[in-house]
Structure 1
Amino acid sequence: MKVALFDFDGTLYPHETFETLREHLQSHPKYKKNYKRFVRYFAPTYFGYKLKLVPKIKMQRRALESYILSFKGYTKSDIDEFFSDVANSMSRELRIPLLEKIKQLKKDNYYVVLISGAFIPLLEALFKGVGFDYIVGSTVNYNKSGQVDSKVRFERVFAERKIEILKEHFRGEKIDWNNSQAYSDSISDLKMLELVGQPVAVTPDSALQSIAERNNWKIINHF
């Protein structure tokens, strides 16, 4: 089995996802009241990061955690409604050539995976009908009452964690990694790109650009 792995933030979607999410929360007609709660949760970590007391990775995890904690007490249907609204807006800016590439890979019998640190409800709403065989993202946890659970530690899917999830998912499967593909814009996904025989750097950051050029990987810089 051949697989095709797609990153989301900066790859399928050309902008910084979290900034888009922040703007939507701040301006959403129904849920904008949650924005102050988000700021209250996130501010200590953000200022710690600005003072170089908190690592960037920890700050990014806390940003997503604070975001979903701002919905504390809300139900799954509330979360799905909100992320569906966000997805409707974001869908206009997805990179169409890559969506077409996904369709072609499906026709060519690739097992196509979307793997991202973004929230799963957002990814599922955004790519409904696209045809991904498997979607990996950051989980929103709910308690027994069906409300957002603030007691379960939030896990951001990032870097090496992506590889762990992929290997667990494909455990027992015979994967033709040499003829598989992976698409990403960031050096943080280097291990994912190195996992396959056909890595593709999509509008890569400078570090990934250098590695891609050195290894003669395919680079897509224009859409």
Structure 2
Amino acid sequence: MAVVAVDFDGTLFLGNSFKVMIEAGKKEFKVKEWSTVTGGLTMACASGLSKGKNAFRMQFFKAFAKTFKGKTKEELDFFFNKLVDIGEKNINHRLVERIREHQEKGDTIIVLSGAFHPFLEVFLKRVDLPVHIISTELMFYPNGICSGEIGTVVNGHEKVKRVEEFLFQHCLGAEEVWAYADSKSDMPLFRFAEHPIVVNPDKEMKKLADENDWEIFPEERGCPWS
């Protein structure tokens, strides 16, 4: 058996969750909520220019989470179902089937992403994939109302840290780790895994995959799966 870590944006979901959230916001948000997002997006762009992509991601998520303050989980589920409706056409069905093959072998699956946890819950329910989720958490008050705050964004080295914690908590230290991801930001995860697999790579990632003899999915050459 193995532990299989699967990235979300660009991997299991071939679209971009940022763009989907913006599109859903345009349809669902009122003026106050949309002002919060656009103001946060401006700050995110400024942070991204000075501090890099991770800083952009953090500021964007913080701004978007503020629009959820005061909402119940049921209200959030309604919103995130709208996101899945918009993004459903970008589900990577070939990778979904590959994950099912892993499950048939008895492997433990983790979907690992910086995207909001409730979004992934709804998405994975839609594609009928019962898996573990490690992602950016929305914070809730004890009464179940969203506080508008978020936990640590799960990206880059944070993904490796979370997988290591998962392995320890579930006493899975001896299992091999497979990693499916698509971007350079996932290099820490690729280097951590015994079986790194680059999904739908762009030119840069294909070069890195070739240099490191990593499998490409969909397969472009013989792979250890068979």
* TM-score interval, normalised by the smaller of the two chains: 0.7 to 0.9
Instruction: Tell me what 2:223 maps to.
Output: none
Q: Is the 8 A contact 2:80 2:122 kept in 1?
A: yes
1:186 and 2:183 are equivalent in the alignment: yes
State the shift of 1:115 in Å.
0.4
Point out 4+ residue stretches in structure 1 off by more than 6 angstroms. none
- Any idea what the Cα deviations from partners look like across 1:16-55, whole Å, max 9, x if unmatched? 2111111111122xx3442222112332342454xx3343
Distance 1:134 1:188 in 2: 21
1:157 and 2:154 are equivalent in the alignment: yes
Q: Structure 1 92/176 Cα, relative in aligned 2: closer, same or farther at 3 Å?
A: same
State the shift of 1:6 in Å.
0.7
Aligned partner letter, 2:198: A
State the SS of the aligned residue for 1:127: helix
State the shift of 1:221 in Å.
5.8
Instruction: Tell me what 2:222 maps to.
Output: none
Aligned partner letter, 1:70: T
State the shift of 1:65 in Å.
1.1
Of residues 106-115 and 203-212 in structure 1, the stretch that sits farther from structure 2 once superposed is: 203-212
Relative to the length of structure 2, the TM-score reads 0.86
Instruction: Tell me what 2:142 maps to.
Output: 144
Distance 2:99 2:217 in 1: 15
Instruction: Tell me what 2:39 maps to.
Output: 40
State the shift of 1:88 in Å.
2.6
Q: Is the 8 A contact 1:69 1:148 kept in 2?
A: no
Of residues 205-214 and 166-175 in structure 1, the stretch that sits farther from structure 2 once superposed is: 205-214
Distance 1:191 1:69 in 2: 30
State the shift of 1:203 in Å.
1.8
Aligned partner letter, 1:168: E
Aligned partner letter, 1:108: K
- Any idea what the Cα deviations from partners look like across 1:41-85, whole Å, max 9, x if unmatched? 332342454xx3343321211101101112222222211111022
Relative to the length of structure 1, the TM-score reads 0.87
Aligned partner letter, 2:16: E
Q: Structure 1 73/112 Cα, relative in aligned 2: closer, same or farther at 3 Å?
A: same
Aligned-residue Cα RMSD (Å) equals 2.2
Task: Structure 1: state its 5+ residue gaps.
Answer: none
Aligned partner letter, 1:156: V
Instruction: Tell me what 1:102 maps to.
Output: 99
Instruction: Tell me what 1:24 maps to.
Output: 24
Q: Structure 1 41/197 Cα, relative in aligned 2: closer, same or farther at 3 Å?
A: closer
Distance 1:122 1:44 in 2: 23
State the SS of the aligned residue for 2:54: helix
